[in-house]
Amino acid sequence: MSAFFGLGKTRTFKPRKDVPEGTKQYQLRKYAEATLGSGNLRLAVQLPEGEDQNEWLAVHAVDFFNHLNMLYGTITEFCTPQECPIMSAGPRYEYLWEDGNKYKRPSKLPAPEYVDALMNWAQGLLDNDEVFPNKIGMETSGTFS
């Protein structure tokens, strides 16, 4: 397993650094941070007037991913394959992983391996310029697969 969540030393997640200060994406991120602190959730997610909806959604998707990654990183030492042998939502629901590549059929994975696969898959989407362009004004395919 990778160091995606601090479990090894091969790879560490780093937030995207390609949003330079002064860009529109930087401004949108700062606006989102300011409105989140206001306590008004409706204001925090409302598209600012005159802004591109896809860019606004991309900023929030990246930030959401980063926050989830950090949150999961705080529990990795407690959720080992031995302690968390299945990915579940209580006793009635078990999650199976299928990615069409390594896992061609729904497969049982220990929770840490499932989350690692999920976060790597999500990171792949975020790094795909056709889905989440790095530069302002680039068109997206709108396809999340």
Residues in the annotated binding site: 79, 84
Annotated binding residues for Zn(2+)? 79, 84
Contacts within 8 Å (CB) and 24+ apart, 117-124: 119/4, 119/5, 119/13, 119/65, 119/68, 119/69, 119/72, 120/2, 120/4, 122/65, 123/4, 123/13, 123/65
DSSP state of 134: S
Count of CB atoms situated within 10 Å of the CB of 107? 14
3-state helix, strand, coil in the chain (%, to 5): 40, 5, 55
